[in-house]
């Protein structure tokens, strides 16, 4: 340190950003992110992104194909779970951020830059091959966009795979 004329040390801080949605898996993702933040003595920021524009229309169409006439009930249940997940994040001390965007990955990267996040926690995708072909992979887009943060992907358990 003296070779570089650094006479004192300074504190650094970690910041963990977690992306969540309506899926049951989000509860464990938020808890995993909290454990990471707690272990690093870091701030925790929980981000929920609502799709808008063409991406939202495409997702609604795929939802209709998947759930048929039960789509409205599924949508209401999803909204209820999303609120529960936001409350869980707040209870764990997270700052909850809600956004609307046409691109989930770029919105996560934007928030990560604005909040100076050093760790990014997301869940394993649950899309079918058709959905991934039509919409692309959020994980792959995050890697391409270079979030300047470590990216942690929480895997699904067998029970969670059956639920979604």
> Is a pLDDT exceeding 70 seen at residue 156?
yes
- Position 5 in a domain: no
Note the pLDDT tens digit of each residue in 14-72.
999 999 998 899 999 999 999 999 999 999 999 999 888 766 666 666 666 666 777 77
- Position 2 in a domain: no
- Position 102 in a domain: yes
- Position 128 in a domain: yes
- The pTM assigned to this predicted structure is 0.80
Note the pLDDT tens digit of each residue in 69-100.
777 787 888 899 999 999 999 999 999 999 99
What is the pLDDT, as a whole number, of residue 45?
97
In DSSP notation, 15-71 reads EEEEE--SSTHHHHHHHHHHHHHHHHT-EEEEEEEEE-THHHHHHHHHHHHHHGGGH
Q: How many domains does the chain fold into?
A: 1
Q: Return d(Cα 134, Cα 58) in angstroms, integer.
A: 9
Range of the domain at 145: 13-163
> Is a pLDDT exceeding 70 seen at residue 136?
yes
- Position 63 in a domain: yes
CATH number at residue 153: 3.40.50.620
Query: In which element (H, E) is residue 158 found?
Result: helix 158-163
- Position 3 in a domain: no
- Position 112 in a domain: yes
- Position 81 in a domain: yes
């Amino acid at each position: 340190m003296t070779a570089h004329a650094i006479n004192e040390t300074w504190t650094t801080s970690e910041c963990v950003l977690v992306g969540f949605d309506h899926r049951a898996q989000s509860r464990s993702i938020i808890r995993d992110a909290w454990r990471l933040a707690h272990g690093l003595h870091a701030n925790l920021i929980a981000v929920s992104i609502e799709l808008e524009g063409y991406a939202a229309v495409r997702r609604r169409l795929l939802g209709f194909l998947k759930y048929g006439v039960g789509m409205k009930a599924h949508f209401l249940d999803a909204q209820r779970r999303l609120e529960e997940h936001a409350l869980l994040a707040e209870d764990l001390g997270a700052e909850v951020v809600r956004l609307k965007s046409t691109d989930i990955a770029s919105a996560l990267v934007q928030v990560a830059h604005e909040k100076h996040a050093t760790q990014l926690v997301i869940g394993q995708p649950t899309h079918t091959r058709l959905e991934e072909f039509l919409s692309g992979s959020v994980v792959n887009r995050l890697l391409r966009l270079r979030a300047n943060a470590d990216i942690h992907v929480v895997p699904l358990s067998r029970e969670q795979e059956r639920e979604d």
